[in-house]
A and B are shown apart, each in its own frame.
Chain A
């Protein structure tokens, strides 16, 4: 059974859907800061509670909302082991050659993995409740101040949004190419590490080529449809934030403050 690309937009009318995309992006950054700064279990409990609340409020189905957890557990396992075995520390529980398993290492491993997961889920909640075009527009207006130091902000925003939109297509394409290579005898499940790595060449090369081809086609199509550069495009009227946007921002700022001022040093 095909797994869905995580983070696909699901239409709806929940509170989360109605928030301005700019608000959601800023809130996402505040919550990410909260996660990264978390040291105590209390901080994590707070973030988990916030996520649970957000899923409830957004009325999203739970499974897709926490989908990133399912997709990358192998990667997370490796991240965990790297941290656990190389972090060092005083309370060494066991050691094999250069590897040292310490209590601090294990804690660090859990912390990093936990952070990655929480940040992915938060990002997922953003993209599941916000149209890609809204994300672009919002990014564009948020990075506008950078214009004064010569950054072509509209172009940067478009680049980011195209990258986001390409992800599902690439996932699908990868699946098709994998199928095609399996059909002509490719094996992706070899036990030997080197062999396994080599077996991905028939997958990676066509996917890259196809990504470049698509990028090229897209560029041509954009040009054909009259995209020159950002400067001459018509401006959209600026929409002010609504009261509930300010509330959401205040709540997220409050959560962030609580975490950094109160919970951070609790054990």
Chain B
């Protein structure tokens, strides 16, 4: 499913009738099957943007189109949209409430029209996809699980609806490095299986290593967008944007300062590794 956004704006109302512009005139499009990242400093409007894309807030200006249809138009089938867009909020573990893991994951399927058997099969699939042993976990209380497990249960609850677009808000915050890699690999697999992914994150490595395209927000404005690698290289040119750099980029910069300029330009650890290999083997031969 493709998403297109035109001149999207959103302001939060404050006391005194003062408005806080959280998004200002943002336009972009995301193709079906894409893996798009949203990047920017804290408070730049990432969460607001994701909520608007999912049709959870009404924009104060501009339009959001999903598959060419405007989602905030009168008569648009919102519950159908919710079925097709899954949202994993920041700290999704806080939305758990049911008495058992199985019931919590099945919650989103209540109005889906699936039979009991189908619901159980879906729940099993979703939990197993998130790495659980279904038989073991199904009757446990979700609130008695560890933080990381809770998060996986919450994500399973979103997956169970088989959304065509998956939106993640800061999904790797609070995960250990191992859990982070596992999670990102899993998201990548979902994407390869055809799900469109939109992911907001502060984690440069996650954005650089996994997304195909990037949207960069600054104070509510879209200041850059395009293929991930190009965006990272462009941000490197902006001297005031120290934020938009991966660790590999910083290492490459340090190496360049020490007279070891690597080419082509480095963005990810993989780039760094292969550039170094080329440098060393090339140096050995020459």
Interface positions of A (Cβ within 8 A of B): 1-4, 8, 10, 61, 63-64, 176-177, 179-187, 201-202, 205-206, 209-210
Q: 8 Å CB contacts to A: which residues of B92-131? A: 92, 94-98, 107-112
Give the distance in Å from the alpha carbon of A27 to the alpha carbon of B155 in the complex: 52
Q: Which residues of A contact B107 (CB under 8 A)?
A: 184-186, 202
- Contact A184 B13, beta carbon cutoff 8 Å: no
Contacts of B110 in A (CB 8 A): 185
Q: Which of B145-194 contact A (CB under 8 A)?
A: 157-158, 161
User: Which residue of A1, A179, A185, A201 contacts B56 across the interface (Cβ within 8 Å)?
Assistant: A179
CA gap between A176 and B60 in the complex, in Å: 19
Q: Are A4 and B143 in contact (CB under 8 A)?
A: no
* Interchain CA distance A186-B112 in the complex, whole Å: 11
| A-chain residues with CB within 8 Å of residue B161 when the two chains form the complex | 184-185
Known contacts A184-B86, A185-B112; is A179 also within 8 Å of B51 by CB? yes
B54 CB–A CB distance under 8 Å: yes
Stretch from B14-22, B227-235, B252-260 contacting the other chain? B14-22
Judge whether A206 and B13 touch: CB under 8 Å.
no
Asked whether, in the complex, the Cβ of A183 is within 8 Å of the Cβ of B13, the reply is: no
A10 to B17, CA, bound (A): 11
B83 within 8 A of A: yes
Extra 20 A-B pairs, beta carbons < 8 Å, given A10-B16, A183-B158, A184-B158? A4-B13, A4-B15, A8-B15, A64-B16, A177-B95, A180-B94, A182-B56, A183-B54, A183-B56, A183-B82, A183-B87, A183-B89, A184-B82, A184-B86, A184-B157, A185-B83, A186-B107, A186-B108, A187-B79, A210-B94
Q: Is the CB of A185 within 8 A of B109?
A: yes
Counting residue pairs across A and B whose Cβ atoms lie within 8 Å, the total is: 78
On chain A, the residues within 8 Å of B12 by CB distance are 2
Q: Which residue of B is nearest A199, CB measured?
A: B110
Residues of A within 8 A of B89 (CB): 176, 179-180, 183
What is the CA–CA distance of A18 and B85 in the complex, to the nearest angstrom? 51
Q: Which residues of A contact B158 (CB under 8 A)?
A: 183-184
* B58 part of interface (Cβ distance < 8 Å): yes
Q: How far is the CA of A66 from the CA of B143 in the complex (A)?
A: 40
B280 vs chain A, min Cβ distance (A) = 49
Q: Is the CB of A209 within 8 A of B112?
A: no
Q: What CA separation (Å) do A182 and B54 show in the bound complex?
A: 10
Which B residues lie within 8 Å of A181 (CB)? 95
Residue pair B13, A185 in contact (C-beta under 8 Å): no
Contacts of B79 in A (CB 8 A): 185, 187
Closest chain-B Cβ to A127's Cβ sits at a distance in Å of: 12
A209 to B110, CA, bound (A): 23
Task: State whether A180 touches B16 (Cβ < 8 A).
Answer: no
Cβ-defined contact, B87 with A61, below 8 A: no
Contact B14 A4 (CB under 8 A): yes
A64 to B13, CA, bound (A): 11
Q: How far is the CB of A64 from chain B (nearest CB, A)?
A: 5
- CB neighbours (8 Å) of A209 from chain B are 94, 97, 143
In the complex, what residues of B have CB within 8 A of residue A61's CB? 15-17
Cα-based distance from A227 to B158 in the complex (angstroms): 41
Residue of A176, A177, A201, A209 contacting most chain B CB atoms (<10 Å):
A176
- Are B95 and A187 in contact (CB-based, < 8 A)? no
Q: Name the residue of chain B whose CB is nearest to the CB of A8.
A: B15
Q: Are B15 and A10 in contact (CB under 8 A)?
A: yes
Q: Which residue of B has the minimal Cβ distance to A64?
A: B15
Contacting pair A180 B97 (CB below 8 A): no
Smallest beta-carbon distance A196→chain B, Å: 14
Contact A205 B97 (CB under 8 A): yes
A182 to B107, CA, bound (A): 11
A4 to B54, CA, bound (A): 22
Interface CB pairs A-B, < 8 A, 6: A63-B17, A180-B89, A183-B85, A185-B83, A186-B107, A202-B107
Residues of B within 8 A of A183 (CB): 54, 56, 82, 85-87, 89, 158
Q: Is the pair A202, B13 in contact by a Cβ cutoff of 8 Å?
A: no
On whether the beta carbons of B97 and A202 are closer than 8 Å, the reply is: yes
Question: What is the distance, in angstroms, from B85's C-beta to the closest C-beta of chain A?
Answer: 8
Find the B residue at minimum CB distance from A176.
Answer: B89
Q: In this complex, what residue of B is CB-closest to A180? A: B95
Instruction: Report B-chain residues with C-beta under 8 Å of the C-beta of A10.
Output: 15-16
In the complex, the answer to whether B94 meets A177 with C-beta atoms within 8 Å is yes
User: Within residues 1 to 57 of chain B, which ones have a CB less than 8 A from any CB in chain A?
Assistant: 12-17, 51, 54, 56
Query: Which of B13, B54, B97, B157 is most buried by chain A, counting CB atoms within 10 A of its CB?
Result: B97
Please state if B112 and A206 are interface contacts (CB–CB under 8 Å).
Answer: no
Partner of B82, one of A176, A185, A206: A185
Q: How far is the CB of A187 from chain B (nearest CB, A)?
A: 7
